[in-house]
């Protein structure tokens, strides 16, 4: 068996791992990057998640009236695939052109805490390293529903972004962020979509008023919802699947769909790693247990990105890189930790998007905070003409403010440009800017940001 030794071994080409590999390689360290598939060079985000899904959403809005939706869908998938192929190649070359970095394609598994084996067909390679970073990401979580795993109609986000075949009707299991983003994407191409959610309403982590506003927009887009219901069986027929569901009241119903898309979350990808051989511990969900420095139960082994059970966002994986780099690079101080993260925002890319950061009103009140709330519908905002200019005045903006200190506790921005606006709010929260200071700040005109002047002047309860 051939062998390699490195200063750093990274398993998985995701954001945190590839950035660390490049930084260590440029610093003259010997680095080996192992990726299971050449189709995932660069990681999940650019290949099957963030980038292709947002590209498909954007392209849906560009369809000319004289182009049939099915043909446009096929063209959108093809152009998105071409874009991700270029990004994949760029990511590969980013590492492969560094003399100190070796990229290996194959499946990695631990032999012990210092050695891993990479398998590619009949070929085997043994790698040892002073530091090891696990960056294998997560994979779609398929619920244990009778007939679902075996169904020819089952699709995941990976299937969705790569298949040019537009389904005629889709059932989406899951009314959370992932399921709704898929539903919103598909409905933009005119595909009938039904979303099943076991809770009594969608977006159960959000405040009721925000969830209602989001649901109203999605219903306007043609999406149907079956809430308070559990899918009990999926049975394949002639090119379609019959999806059976039962409500909390005991009523039963069925729909037929050409595709059944799971949007119930993603689980850490660790099955192939043989972590027990290295003595690396995982939790009940299979996530690798780490401390605030992202060290596993073996101090020289780190876990970054989705595999460590933290927030499943590319930008969090990038911050994971900063923490590990601060531990193992010669220029590091060893002080940076996950505890340094404040006000991490996220966005649900429906149309318009829902940007969120910090506490919801419900969370703040449950925590015993004295709360005031500022909320206003976008259509009522005189100080936000940009919404009218671009022709989308749907949605609302909501801020949760500490009544005693004027601290911004959280915000929900359901509006055009909210994927950008929420970063401004997050920055304000990190730097200690009060709600009054954000309200009285000077913003360009006409922009979406100037809505803050009006919304935060309306702190009423």
Per residue, the 3-state secondary structure of 59-127, as one string, reads HHCCCCCCCCHHHHHHHHHHHHHHHHHHHHHHHHHHHHCCCCEEEEECEEEECCCCEEEEEECCEEEEE
Read off φ and ψ for residue 374, nearest 5 degrees. -115, 120
Q: Which of 5, 58, 248, 445 is catalytic?
A: 445
Q: What is the pLDDT, as a whole number, of residue 459?
A: 80
401 closest CA partner among 350, 447, 448, 457: 457
Query: What is the C-alpha to C-alpha distance for residues 3 and 125, in angstroms, rounded to an integer?
Result: 6
Short-list 220, 176, 221, 223, CA closest to 202: 176
CA distances from 77 to 60, 158, 193 (A): 10, 12, 19
Surface-to-core class of residue 239, CB atoms within 10 Å of its CB (0-12 exposed, 13-18 middle, 19+ buried): exposed
Name the nearest CA neighbour of 412 among 341, 368, 364: 364
Gyration radius of the chain's alpha carbons: 24
Q: What is the pLDDT of residue 461?
A: 58
300 is catalytic: no
**4 within 8 A of 127, measured Cβ to Cβ:** yes
d(CA 138, CA 269): 5
- Give the alpha-carbon dihedral of 63, 65, 66, 72, to 10 degrees: 20
What is the SS3 assignment for 458?
Answer: coil
Cβ atoms of 455 and 381 within 8 Å: the answer is: yes
Q: Which pair of structure tokens corresponds to residue 422?
A: 């929420």
Cα-Cα-Cα-Cα dihedral sign, residues 270, 349, 223, 375: positive
Task: List the alpha helices (DSSP H) in 256-341.
Answer: 275-278, 314-328
CATH topology of domain 154-264: FAD/NAD(P)-binding domain (3.50.50)
Question: How far is 166 from 168, CA to CA, in rounded Å?
Answer: 6
**Structural domain boundaries in the chain:** 2-138+267-340, 154-264, 346-455
Judge whether 116 and 126 are in contact, CB under 8 Å: yes
Strands 224-227 and 229-236: unpaired
Q: Which residue has the tokens 């809005």?
A: 61
Strand partners for 89: none
- Give the total residue count for the chain: 461
Whether the Cβ atoms of residue 448 and residue 386 lie closer than 8 Å to each other:
yes
What are the distances in angstroms from CA 81 to CA 51, 162, 164, 434?
10, 7, 10, 44
Taking Cα atoms as reference points, which of 288, 295, 283, 287 lies closest to residue 323? Answer: 295
Superfamily of domain 2-138+267-340: FAD/NAD(P)-binding domain (3.50.50.60)
User: Which H/E stretch holds residue 389?
Assistant: helix 385-390
CA–CA distance, 98 with 185 (Å, rounded to integer) = 38
Q: Tell whether domain 346-455 is in CATH 3.40.50.10490.
A: no
By three-state DSSP, how is residue 329 classified? coil
Angle (deg, nearest 10), helices 15-26 and 314-328 = 30
Predicted confidence (pLDDT) per residue in 214-241, tens digit: 999 999 999 999 999 999 999 999 999 9
Tens digit of pLDDT per residue, the chain (461 long)? 799 999 999 999 999 999 999 999 999 999 999 999 999 999 999 999 999 999 999 999 899 989 999 999 999 999 999 999 999 999 999 999 999 999 999 999 999 999 999 999 999 999 999 999 999 999 999 999 999 999 999 999 889 899 999 999 999 999 999 999 999 999 999 999 999 999 999 999 999 999 999 999 999 999 999 999 999 999 999 999 999 999 999 999 999 999 999 999 999 999 999 999 999 999 998 999 999 999 999 999 999 999 999 999 999 999 999 999 999 999 999 999 999 999 999 999 999 999 999 999 999 999 999 999 999 999 999 999 999 999 999 999 999 999 999 999 999 999 999 999 999 999 999 999 999 999 999 999 999 999 999 999 988 65
Would the CATH topology of 2-138+267-340 be identical to that of 154-264? yes
């Amino acid at each position: 068996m051939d062998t390699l030794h490195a200063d750093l071994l990274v398993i998985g080409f995701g954001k945190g791992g590839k950035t660390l590999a490049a930084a260590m390689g440029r610093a003259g360290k010997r680095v080996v990057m192992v990726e299971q598939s050449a189709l995932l060079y660069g990681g999940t985000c650019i290949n099957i998640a963030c980038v292709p899904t947002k590209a498909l959403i954007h392209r849906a809005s560009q369809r000319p009236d004289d182009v049939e939706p099915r043909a446009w869908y096929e063209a959108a998938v093809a152009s998105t695939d071409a874009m991700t192929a270029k990004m994949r190649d760029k990511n590969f070359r980013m590492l492969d052109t560094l003399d100190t970095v070796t990229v290996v394609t194959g499946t990695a598994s631990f032999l012990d805490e210092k050695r891993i084996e990479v398998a590619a067909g009949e070929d085997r390679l043994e790698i040892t390293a002073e530091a090891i970073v696990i960056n294998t990401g997560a994979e779609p979580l398929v619920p244990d529903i009778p007939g679902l795993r075996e169904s020819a109609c089952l699709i995941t986000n990976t299937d969705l972004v790569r298949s040019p075949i537009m389904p005629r009707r889709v059932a989406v299991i899951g009314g959370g962020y992932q399921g709704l983003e898929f539903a919103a994407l598909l409905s933009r191409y005119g595909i009938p979509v039904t979303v099943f959610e076991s809770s009594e309403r969608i977006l159960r982590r959000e405040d009721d008023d925000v969830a209602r506003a989001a649901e109203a927009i999605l219903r306007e887009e043609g999406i149907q919802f079956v809430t308070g219901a559990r899918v009990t069986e999926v049975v394949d027929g002639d090119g379609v699947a019959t999806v059976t569901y039962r409500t909390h009241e005991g009523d039963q119903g069925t729909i037929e769909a050409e595709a059944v898309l799971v949007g119930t979350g993603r689980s850490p990808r660790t099955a192939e790693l043989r972590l027990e051989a290295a003595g690396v511990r995982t939790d009940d969900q299979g996530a690798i247990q780490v401390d605030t420095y992202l060290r596993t139960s073996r101090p020289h082994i780190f876990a970054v990105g989705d595999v460590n059970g933290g927030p499943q966002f590319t930008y969090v994986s990038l911050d994971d890189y900063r923490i590990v780099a601060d531990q193992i690079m010669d220029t590091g101080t060893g002080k940076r930790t996950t505890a340094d993260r404040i006000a991490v925002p996220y966005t649900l890319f429906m149309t318009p998007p829902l940007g969120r950061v910090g506490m919801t009103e419900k969370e703040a009140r449950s925590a015993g905070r004295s709360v005031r709330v500022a909320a206003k519908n976008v259509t009522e905002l005189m100080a936000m003409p940009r919404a009218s200019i671009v022709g989308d005045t749907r949605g609302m903006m909501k801020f949760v403010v500490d009544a005693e200190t004027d601290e911004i506790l959280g915000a929900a921005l359901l509006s055009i440009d909210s994927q950008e606006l929420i970063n401004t709010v997050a920055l304000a929260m990190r730097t200690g800017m009060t709600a009054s200071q954000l309200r009285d700040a000077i913003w360009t005109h006409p922009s979406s940001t100037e809505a803050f002047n009006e919304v935060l002047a309306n702190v009423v309860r």
